[in-house]
Amino acid sequence: MVSKLILPFPMLADPDASVIAAYGVYQENEQRARPAAFVIGRDLSVAYRYVGRDFADRPLTKELLSALDSVRDARRRELHSEPLPRGPRSPADTGRTPFPLEHLPPYMRGVNFALEAISERVAEDERLQKEAVTYRAIAQDYMRHGLATLKLRESMTK
């Protein structure tokens, strides 16, 4: 994933779900985590916690960046902890094929258009209007970041 998305940071694998269970985001019936983001400062404080209600409920990039800025200058504190207990599942290959990054921008454009159509149908429902605005912002973030990663990948191969 780090090389696919050209990420400037390492990622943690959690094959037995012990970390997501410890953070309270493991969904037993789905055998996966709810979408969640935690920003943990070098001082080990939790500066940001976002737990989505469903698979599409994600934090906005600007919220994550703001949380990262809030802990940028925190003093480092050493982490001393016991190993996590074994997670709620055995590591297993799901057999699912990852979504190709090249498909993300057109897919998210479709999501954006669908949300626009739905919000026009329920113009009188303020709660749904607010949800549609939030989900459109998430889809636009995904589309923008997907395109930026594809451009970066392309520039690295030249």
Residue 57 · residue 137 · CB < 8 Å: no
Tell me the pTM: 0.71
Greater model confidence, 79 or 129:
129
- Residue 80 pLDDT exceeds 90: no
CB 39 within 8 A of CB 65: no
Residues paired with 36 in a beta bridge: 51
Residue-wise pLDDT for 133-157, tens only, equals 999 998 888 888 889 999 998 998 8
Q: What is the DSSP letter of 102?
A: G
Residue 30, pLDDT score: 83
Task: Round to whole Å and give the CA distance between 44 and 134.
Answer: 30
The string of pLDDT tens digits covering residues 84-134 is: 788 888 877 777 787 888 998 889 889 989 999 989 999 999 999 999 999
Question: CA 76 to CA 71: how far, in whole Å?
Answer: 10
DSSP secondary-structure letter at 96? P
pLDDT of residue 18 exceeding 80, the answer is yes
Work out the average pLDDT over 34-62.
Answer: 90
Question: Quick one: pLDDT band at residue 36, thresholds 50, 70, 90?
Answer: very high
**Distance of alpha carbon 8 from alpha carbon 124, whole angstroms:** 44
> Of the candidates 138, 149, 145, which has an alpha carbon nearest to the alpha carbon of residue 60?
138
pLDDT at 31: 83
pLDDT at 99: 81
Q: What angle do CA 84, 18, 1 make, to 5 degrees?
A: 120
Euclidean distance between CA atoms 58 and 103, whole angstroms: 19
